[in-house]
Chains A and B, each alone.
Chain A
Amino acid sequence: MTHHETEAETVYGIMAEFEHEEDVLEAAEAAYARGYRAMDAFSPHPVEGLAEAIGFHKNRVALVVLLGGLTGGLSGFFMQWYTAAVEYPFDVGGRPYFSWPAFIPITFEMTVLFAAISGVVGLILLNGLPRPYHPAFNAANFATASTDGFFLCIQSDDPMFEAEAVQAFLTEFEPKSLSVVPL
């Protein structure tokens, strides 16, 4: 369990495994209060407040979705106006070329289409996915992070990181297991 000889350069972090989500939440809050910043928590389903506990409060995907939606809506409307009123005006019973109310349904569909695509692409890219390999997968029992295990990892790139101190700190919360994750 303890690897006193490990160097910070060869270690990704120290991973603690917990049985209940309340425990990982408590440990995460305490770690943040202690001053650790470079850390991540892992859970099989979203845990209310866990991201906030490790200091992650705001994500920017909503902005990405908004920008995507605006782009889709504006380009959809522009496409219809340009093709119907400028590029190839077509007289149908003397109706106006720029008949904007008839352009609304496609403008709406384009808004939704672009917003949804940018939301999903934004989610994947902001999360740094696809990334089939990640050091976290090396942690003990990490396969249970997708079933019923809750994990907290204090990473070695934290300025305060010091292997023994982190291990001692995490042991206070009586984790189910504690492992040094190689980089």
Chain B
Amino acid sequence: MHNSELEPMPPNAVLRPGHTFASVTDKIGSLVLVRPYELKWFIGFGIGFSLLMTLLFSAARLFYYGVGIWGIDVPVMWGFAIVNFVWWIGIGHAGTLISAILLLLKQEWRTSINRFAEAMTLFAVACAGMFPLLHLGRPWLFFWLLPYPNTMGLWPQWRSPLIWDVFAVSTYATVSLLFWYVGLIPDLATLRDRARNKWAKMGYGVFALGWRGSAMHWHRYRTVYMLLAGLATPLVVSVHSVVALDFAASLMPGWHTTVFPPYFVAGAIFSGFAMVATLAIPLRAWYGLKDFITDKHLENMCKVMLATGLVVAYGYMMEAFMAWMGNNPNEKFVLLENRPFGPYAHTWRLMMLCNVIAPQVFWFKWARTNVYFIWFMSIVVNIGMWLERYVIVITSLHRDFLPSSWSMYHGTVWDYATYYGTIGLFTTLLFLFIRFLPVISIAEMRELVHETGHKHGRPETSPGSAS
């Protein structure tokens, strides 16, 4: 990598001009091959791993004592577990949006963020998947959810969105893994060819499957990659729609609304982009990736957050409007009285502040270009979206149809330990990923070098720019 050949960064570039095939390969590949373990990495991994141990401990305790250690009780039987499940799975959706939908729309700025966004999806889905299993009460019987011939002669209830969810989430996890792995194959081959350490060479070699960059292989590869993107696009919409139907197909006031599926999908992308920004900003600073993850990327992420945030705001408004115009006294009570003025009003108000009011600053250019501010806002949105799920799950359940069973719900220390524990699982996996796999798709970056070069001259001297 010869920094002297690089040109200054133009304001709208998605890749710093002056990069060549070799320099992008070198720079990204060296992050895993030649960079030694660093203190920063150990600190990050250490924090994640400690929290992961918290998850193991609280899960072990849960298996021993049962779900009684959580705060759930009649009538709020869906507590943190469902809140966290929906929150995590929503975060995952931005990864698929970036890797699949933006690929089909030929948005070349996606190239440098798709790999770690996909990794984020996988790890978020892994965290999400913990909760439905843990909250089963008898998690070792989770296979009862699957159709298999059994001595009871029973089959799953196909008309239940909860069973749709089993299929949707497991399909989503599988397809995300495949998509991610297919994207990794050429990069694994690059690492195999560049690794000097024998074990690294063998490790990457095994997973590269002997990829040699044959033109015929690339031909099939491109077809499959585009088809996977085409398959993942409706899939991601279906997953959060089905999650929304878990709520909407019930008769619970505050859940039983038709706006749920689209507004859940938008909310998922909203929170997912916030998480991408939360991760991308420190990542590019610590690993010197500002040539690849440019200010243009961050600005675009802010625009997506603003747009999806507005859809979420529309969802909130429509819920309230339908309750107001409708003729259901329970719904009116839940949406127009209990949520804004009831015992959980502070949660609802904080949610409105984080999800509806705060993102409006992204109308202004200064807000979309100040890195520190974007990072702060991404945390605000992450919190806001967690609160949204809390409001949906808890406030609807705690005032159900039978006033005699009304009560209050609060997460216990084990609820929080499990939740923070999954953040640990996520962080641990993320740091392992950063250490062992290229965080940016090297092969696609070379294509980007080629494309930006062709538009503006030779690759070596081209000013790359966003289209």
Contacts and interface: CB of A to CB of B under 8 A. Distances in A.
A106 B220 contact: no
Interface string A36-47: 000011111111
A84 B450 contact: no
B437 to A, nearest CB: 15
B221 A123 contact: yes
Contact of B182 (A92, A120, A143): A120
A44 B21 contact: yes
| Among A40, A109, A144, residue most surrounded by chain B Cβ atoms (within 10 Å) | A109
B44 interface: no
Contacts of B205: 132
B227 interface: yes
Contacts of A56: 215-216, 219
Interface in B373-419: none
Contact of A133 (B210, B214, B228, B450): B210
Majority-rule SS of A interface residues: helix
A106 B210 contact: no
Nearest to B182: A120
B238 A109 contact: yes
Contact of A147 (B22, B170, B179, B216): B22
B228 A147 contact: no
Interface in B1-58: 20-22, 25-26
Contact of B231 (A83, A87, A115): A115
B450 A126 contact: no
Contact of B213 (A112, A133, A146): A146
B135 interface: no
B153 interface: yes
A119 B224 contact: yes
Contacts of B210: 129-134
Contacts of B134: none
A59 B227 CA distance: 13
Contact of A105 (B22, B164, B215, B221): B164
A46 B159 contact: no
Interface residues of B, number: 62
Given A42-B212, A42-B215, A62 B167 contact: no
Nearest to A99: B159
A129 B220 CA distance: 12
Nearest to A76: B167
A37 to B, nearest CB: 13
A112 B231 contact: yes
Contacts of B446: 44-45, 148
B337 interface: no
Contacts of B224: 61, 65, 119-120, 122-123
A36 to B, nearest CB: 14
A117 B174 contact: yes
B218 A134 contact: no
Contacts of A11: none
Given A108-B238, A123-B182, A45 B211 contact: no
Given A123-B221, A143-B193, A112 B447 contact: no
Q: Can you list the 5 inter-chain pairs with the closest CB atoms, starting with the nearest?
A: A148-B21, A51-B219, A130-B209, A83-B155, A131-B210
26 contacts: A40-B215, A41-B215, A45-B444, A46-B221, A46-B447, A51-B218, A56-B215, A56-B216, A61-B224, A61-B227, A79-B147, A105-B167, A109-B164, A109-B238, A110-B167, A110-B171, A112-B171, A112-B175, A115-B227, A119-B224, A127-B221, A130-B210, A132-B210, A145-B213, A146-B193, A147-B193
Given A65-B227, A119-B178, 14 more contacts: A42-B213, A59-B220, A62-B223, A62-B227, A83-B155, A105-B242, A109-B167, A109-B168, A110-B167, A113-B167, A119-B227, A120-B178, A129-B211, A146-B192
Interface of B: 20-22, 25-26, 147, 153-155, 158-159, 161, 163-164, 167-168, 170-171, 174-175, 178-179, 181-182, 186, 189-190, 192-194, 205-206, 209-224, 227-228, 231-232, 234-235, 238, 242, 245, 443-444, 446-447, 450
